[in-house]
Amino acid sequence: MANKHPYLTTHEGKLYLTDQEKGLRTSLEIKEVLYEERSPYQHIMIVDTVLFGRALILDGIVQTTEKEGFIYNEMISHMPLAFHPKAEDVLIVGGGDLGVAREVLKYPFVRRVDMVEIDARVVEASRTYLPEVAAPPDDRLHIYFEDGALFVGRKEAAYDVIIVDAADPVGPATVLFEHPFYAALERALRADGVMAAQSDSPIHHIDVCKRTHSSLKSLFPIVYPYFSTVPAYPSGWWMFTLASKRYDMLRPLDPGISTRFVNDAILRGSLAVPNMFAQALFSV
Protein backbone atom coordinates (compact mmCIF):
# COMPACT_ATOMS: atom_id res chain seq x y z
CA MET A 1 0.00 0.00 0.00
CA ALA A 2 1.36 3.41 -0.96
CA ASN A 3 2.21 5.84 1.83
CA LYS A 4 0.07 8.97 1.49
CA HIS A 5 1.32 10.78 4.58
CA PRO A 6 3.82 13.62 4.16
CA TYR A 7 6.91 13.35 6.37
CA LEU A 8 6.46 9.57 6.73
CA THR A 9 8.35 6.92 4.78
CA THR A 10 7.67 3.23 4.27
CA HIS A 11 10.26 0.47 4.72
CA GLU A 12 9.41 -3.23 4.56
CA GLY A 13 5.74 -2.44 5.02
CA LYS A 14 6.26 -0.28 8.12
CA LEU A 15 5.81 3.47 8.55
CA TYR A 16 8.64 5.64 9.87
CA LEU A 17 9.06 9.28 10.78
CA THR A 18 12.64 10.27 9.96
CA ASP A 19 14.47 13.27 11.40
CA GLN A 20 17.44 14.57 9.44
CA GLU A 21 20.19 16.52 11.17
CA LYS A 22 23.62 17.28 9.75
CA GLY A 23 25.42 13.95 9.74
CA LEU A 24 22.62 12.08 11.51
CA ARG A 25 19.33 10.49 10.47
CA THR A 26 17.01 8.89 13.04
CA SER A 27 13.73 7.11 12.43
CA LEU A 28 10.76 6.45 14.69
CA GLU A 29 8.48 3.54 13.84
CA ILE A 30 4.82 4.52 13.53
CA LYS A 31 2.03 2.05 14.30
CA GLU A 32 -0.84 4.27 13.19
CA VAL A 33 -1.67 7.81 12.12
CA LEU A 34 -4.54 8.84 14.39
CA TYR A 35 -5.08 12.39 13.18
CA GLU A 36 -3.72 14.53 10.36
CA GLU A 37 -4.46 17.92 8.88
CA ARG A 38 -2.78 20.97 7.45
CA SER A 39 -3.79 24.02 9.46
CA PRO A 40 -3.25 27.58 8.21
CA TYR A 41 0.15 27.46 9.95
CA GLN A 42 1.60 23.95 9.73
CA HIS A 43 1.08 20.26 9.10
CA ILE A 44 -0.24 18.47 12.20
CA MET A 45 -0.18 14.76 12.96
CA ILE A 46 -0.99 12.71 16.02
CA VAL A 47 0.59 9.28 15.61
CA ASP A 48 0.89 6.15 17.72
CA THR A 49 4.56 5.13 17.89
CA VAL A 50 6.06 1.78 18.84
CA LEU A 51 8.51 3.24 21.36
CA PHE A 52 6.92 6.37 22.85
CA GLY A 53 3.15 5.86 22.50
CA ARG A 54 1.15 8.70 21.04
CA ALA A 55 3.09 11.68 19.73
CA LEU A 56 2.39 15.16 18.39
CA ILE A 57 4.23 15.87 15.12
CA LEU A 58 4.38 19.37 13.61
CA ASP A 59 5.83 19.75 10.12
CA GLY A 60 7.48 16.37 10.52
CA ILE A 61 9.14 17.15 13.88
CA VAL A 62 8.30 15.41 17.17
CA GLN A 63 6.98 17.90 19.74
CA THR A 64 5.91 15.64 22.60
CA THR A 65 5.02 12.03 23.36
CA GLU A 66 3.00 10.17 25.96
CA LYS A 67 5.87 8.14 27.42
CA GLU A 68 8.63 10.74 27.76
CA GLY A 69 7.19 14.18 27.01
CA PHE A 70 6.78 14.85 30.73
CA ILE A 71 10.58 15.14 31.03
CA TYR A 72 10.73 18.22 28.83
CA ASN A 73 7.55 19.70 30.32
CA GLU A 74 8.74 19.28 33.90
CA MET A 75 12.20 20.69 33.19
CA ILE A 76 11.00 23.83 31.44
CA SER A 77 8.23 24.46 34.03
CA HIS A 78 9.56 23.60 37.47
CA MET A 79 12.94 25.33 37.13
CA PRO A 80 11.55 28.90 36.89
CA LEU A 81 8.89 28.09 39.48
CA ALA A 82 11.64 26.89 41.82
CA PHE A 83 13.55 30.16 41.39
CA HIS A 84 10.55 32.45 41.93
CA PRO A 85 9.29 32.16 45.54
CA LYS A 86 5.60 32.55 44.73
CA ALA A 87 4.58 33.07 41.12
CA GLU A 88 0.91 34.00 40.89
CA ASP A 89 0.63 35.09 37.25
CA VAL A 90 2.30 32.91 34.61
CA LEU A 91 2.49 33.24 30.84
CA ILE A 92 3.21 30.30 28.52
CA VAL A 93 4.23 31.20 24.96
CA GLY A 94 3.53 28.27 22.66
CA GLY A 95 2.87 25.01 24.45
CA GLY A 96 -0.07 24.00 22.28
CA ASP A 97 0.03 20.41 23.53
CA LEU A 98 -0.88 21.81 27.00
CA GLY A 99 1.86 19.79 28.70
CA VAL A 100 3.57 22.82 30.23
CA ALA A 101 0.19 24.13 31.39
CA ARG A 102 -0.40 20.80 33.16
CA GLU A 103 2.82 21.27 35.17
CA VAL A 104 2.29 24.95 36.03
CA LEU A 105 -1.26 24.35 37.21
CA LYS A 106 0.03 21.91 39.84
CA TYR A 107 1.00 24.92 41.98
CA PRO A 108 -1.91 26.06 44.18
CA PHE A 109 -0.51 29.59 44.55
CA VAL A 110 -0.61 30.14 40.77
CA ARG A 111 -3.78 32.14 40.35
CA ARG A 112 -3.77 32.66 36.56
CA VAL A 113 -2.06 31.04 33.59
CA ASP A 114 -2.23 32.80 30.23
CA MET A 115 -1.20 30.68 27.27
CA VAL A 116 -0.71 32.19 23.82
CA GLU A 117 -0.58 29.69 20.95
CA ILE A 118 -0.83 30.64 17.30
CA ASP A 119 -2.53 27.44 16.13
CA ALA A 120 -5.85 26.49 17.71
CA ARG A 121 -5.87 23.19 15.86
CA VAL A 122 -2.81 21.97 17.80
CA VAL A 123 -4.62 22.56 21.09
CA GLU A 124 -7.80 20.87 19.87
CA ALA A 125 -5.91 17.83 18.56
CA SER A 126 -3.89 17.51 21.77
CA ARG A 127 -6.97 17.67 23.97
CA THR A 128 -8.63 14.97 21.90
CA TYR A 129 -5.75 12.57 21.26
CA LEU A 130 -3.20 13.31 24.02
CA PRO A 131 -5.21 13.46 27.26
CA GLU A 132 -2.24 12.11 29.27
CA VAL A 133 -0.17 15.11 28.12
CA ALA A 134 -2.69 17.94 27.96
CA ALA A 135 -3.76 19.85 31.06
CA PRO A 136 -7.23 18.97 32.33
CA PRO A 137 -9.85 21.73 32.45
CA ASP A 138 -8.95 24.45 34.96
CA ASP A 139 -10.59 27.85 35.44
CA ARG A 140 -7.15 29.42 35.95
CA LEU A 141 -6.06 28.62 32.38
CA HIS A 142 -6.81 31.24 29.71
CA ILE A 143 -5.80 30.45 26.11
CA TYR A 144 -5.29 33.08 23.42
CA PHE A 145 -4.95 32.01 19.81
CA GLU A 146 -2.68 34.61 18.26
CA ASP A 147 0.91 35.46 17.47
CA GLY A 148 2.97 35.06 20.64
CA ALA A 149 5.39 37.88 19.84
CA LEU A 150 2.56 40.36 19.24
CA PHE A 151 0.80 39.25 22.43
CA VAL A 152 3.94 39.70 24.54
CA GLY A 153 4.62 43.05 22.91
CA ARG A 154 1.40 44.44 24.39
CA LYS A 155 2.28 43.43 27.95
CA GLU A 156 4.26 45.38 30.53
CA ALA A 157 5.12 44.18 34.06
CA ALA A 158 2.24 41.69 33.84
CA TYR A 159 3.77 38.33 34.83
CA ASP A 160 5.84 36.74 37.58
CA VAL A 161 7.03 33.88 35.37
CA ILE A 162 7.11 33.45 31.59
CA ILE A 163 7.83 30.09 29.95
CA VAL A 164 8.67 30.00 26.24
CA ASP A 165 7.76 26.57 24.92
CA ALA A 166 8.42 27.38 21.28
CA ALA A 167 8.71 24.87 18.47
CA ASP A 168 12.00 24.66 16.57
CA PRO A 169 13.24 27.99 15.13
CA VAL A 170 11.65 27.46 11.74
CA GLY A 171 8.35 28.68 10.29
CA PRO A 172 6.04 30.67 12.60
CA ALA A 173 8.26 30.02 15.66
CA THR A 174 11.37 31.72 14.22
CA VAL A 175 10.58 35.08 15.80
CA LEU A 176 10.44 33.45 19.25
CA PHE A 177 14.22 32.92 19.15
CA GLU A 178 15.17 36.49 18.24
CA HIS A 179 16.50 39.33 20.43
CA PRO A 180 13.51 41.72 20.02
CA PHE A 181 11.22 39.00 21.40
CA TYR A 182 13.45 38.39 24.41
CA ALA A 183 13.50 42.15 25.06
CA ALA A 184 9.70 42.15 25.00
CA LEU A 185 9.68 39.27 27.49
CA GLU A 186 11.87 41.30 29.85
CA ARG A 187 9.36 44.17 29.70
CA ALA A 188 6.42 41.82 30.22
CA LEU A 189 7.92 40.49 33.46
CA ARG A 190 7.47 42.19 36.81
CA ALA A 191 10.43 43.66 38.69
CA ASP A 192 11.27 40.28 40.23
CA GLY A 193 10.23 38.17 37.24
CA VAL A 194 11.78 34.91 36.04
CA MET A 195 11.60 33.31 32.62
CA ALA A 196 12.71 30.06 30.99
CA ALA A 197 12.98 29.20 27.31
CA GLN A 198 13.72 26.04 25.38
CA SER A 199 16.99 26.66 23.57
CA ASP A 200 17.39 23.67 21.21
CA SER A 201 19.97 20.88 21.04
CA PRO A 202 23.50 21.79 22.17
CA ILE A 203 24.79 18.93 20.01
CA HIS A 204 23.17 19.91 16.72
CA HIS A 205 22.40 23.60 17.20
CA ILE A 206 24.91 25.14 19.60
CA ASP A 207 24.61 28.35 17.55
CA VAL A 208 20.96 28.68 18.61
CA CYS A 209 21.90 27.91 22.22
CA LYS A 210 24.65 30.53 22.22
CA ARG A 211 22.47 33.18 20.55
CA THR A 212 19.72 32.64 23.13
CA HIS A 213 22.17 32.78 26.03
CA SER A 214 23.86 35.93 24.69
CA SER A 215 20.57 37.74 24.09
CA LEU A 216 19.28 37.02 27.57
CA LYS A 217 22.63 37.95 29.18
CA SER A 218 22.30 41.39 27.61
CA LEU A 219 18.84 41.84 29.15
CA PHE A 220 18.90 40.11 32.56
CA PRO A 221 21.40 40.24 35.44
CA ILE A 222 21.02 36.52 36.18
CA VAL A 223 21.12 33.92 33.40
CA TYR A 224 21.69 30.16 33.65
CA PRO A 225 21.74 27.55 30.90
CA TYR A 226 20.53 24.15 32.07
CA PHE A 227 20.32 20.75 30.45
CA SER A 228 18.23 17.61 30.32
CA THR A 229 17.79 14.40 28.45
CA VAL A 230 14.76 14.40 26.11
CA PRO A 231 14.78 10.93 24.51
CA ALA A 232 12.49 11.65 21.54
CA TYR A 233 14.44 14.73 20.41
CA PRO A 234 17.48 14.70 18.10
CA SER A 235 20.62 13.74 20.07
CA GLY A 236 18.46 13.17 23.18
CA TRP A 237 20.11 16.14 24.92
CA TRP A 238 18.41 19.51 25.25
CA MET A 239 19.25 22.95 26.60
CA PHE A 240 17.00 25.44 28.34
CA THR A 241 17.87 28.97 29.47
CA LEU A 242 16.65 30.57 32.70
CA ALA A 243 16.78 34.35 33.16
CA SER A 244 15.89 36.22 36.34
CA LYS A 245 15.63 39.87 37.28
CA ARG A 246 16.24 39.33 41.00
CA TYR A 247 16.19 35.77 42.32
CA ASP A 248 19.47 33.88 42.18
CA MET A 249 18.77 30.85 44.32
CA LEU A 250 17.16 27.54 43.43
CA ARG A 251 14.58 26.66 46.08
CA PRO A 252 13.42 23.10 46.86
CA LEU A 253 10.33 21.99 44.98
CA ASP A 254 7.15 22.94 46.77
CA PRO A 255 5.76 20.14 48.99
CA GLY A 256 2.91 18.25 47.40
CA ILE A 257 4.02 18.85 43.81
CA SER A 258 3.89 15.51 42.00
CA THR A 259 6.49 14.88 39.29
CA ARG A 260 7.70 11.84 37.36
CA PHE A 261 11.20 13.04 36.45
CA VAL A 262 12.16 16.24 38.24
CA ASN A 263 13.36 16.35 41.84
CA ASP A 264 15.61 18.73 43.75
CA ALA A 265 18.78 16.87 42.81
CA ILE A 266 17.83 16.77 39.12
CA LEU A 267 17.24 20.53 39.06
CA ARG A 268 20.51 21.28 40.84
CA GLY A 269 22.47 18.96 38.59
CA SER A 270 20.94 20.34 35.40
CA LEU A 271 22.60 23.70 36.08
CA ALA A 272 26.07 22.15 35.71
CA VAL A 273 27.42 23.14 32.29
CA PRO A 274 29.64 20.58 30.53
CA ASN A 275 33.02 22.02 29.59
CA MET A 276 32.50 21.56 25.86
CA PHE A 277 29.32 23.65 26.02
CA ALA A 278 30.73 26.22 28.45
CA GLN A 279 33.44 27.14 25.98
CA ALA A 280 30.87 27.73 23.25
CA LEU A 281 28.31 29.52 25.41
CA PHE A 282 30.54 31.77 27.47
CA SER A 283 33.21 32.73 24.93
CA VAL A 284 32.93 36.27 23.56
pLDDT in tens, 35-70: 999 999 999 999 999 999 999 999 999 999 999 999
* pLDDT over 80 at 4, yes or no: no
Q: Is 172 annotated as a binding residue?
A: yes
Q: How many CB atoms lie within 10 A of CB 37?
A: 12
pLDDT for the residue 167: 74
Please give the DSSP secondary-structure letter assigned to residue 92. Answer: E
Q: Is 42 annotated as a binding residue?
A: yes
List beta partners, residue 11.
14
Of residues 1 and 247, which shows the higher confidence score?
Answer: 247
pLDDT for the residue 189: 98
Q: Is 137 annotated as a binding residue?
A: no
Could you give the CA distance from residue 178 to residue 199 in angstroms, rounded to a whole number?
A: 11
pLDDT for the residue 1: 44
Of residues 24 and 260, which shows the higher confidence score?
Answer: 260
Assign residue 13 a region: left if phi > 0, alpha if psi is -120 to 50, beta otherwise? left
Q: Is 248 annotated as a binding residue?
A: no
Residue 138 annotated in active site? no
CATH 2.30.140.10 fits 8-63, yes or no: yes
CATH number of 69-282: 3.40.50.150
Q: Is 117 annotated as a binding residue?
A: yes
Q: Which member of 114, 119, 160, 165 is catalytic?
A: 165
Angle between helices 275-282 and 206-217 (to 10 degrees): 50
Rounded percentage of the chain residues whose pLDDT exceeds 90: 87
DSSP codes, 210-255: HHHHHHHHTT-SEEEEEEEE-TTSGGGEEEEEEEESS---PPPPPT
Task: Write down the domain spans for the chain.
Answer: 8-63, 69-282
Label residue 243 exposed, middle or buried (CB < 10 Å: 0-12, 13-18, 19+): buried
Q: Is 148 annotated as a binding residue?
A: yes
Which strand (E) or helix (H) includes residue 269? helix 264-270
pTM summary value: 0.95
Asked if 48 and 54 count as a contact pair (C-beta separation under 8 A), the reply is yes
At residue 123, the 3 state secondary structure works out as helix
Instruction: Place 284 in a pLDDT band, splitting at 50, 70 and 90.
Output: low
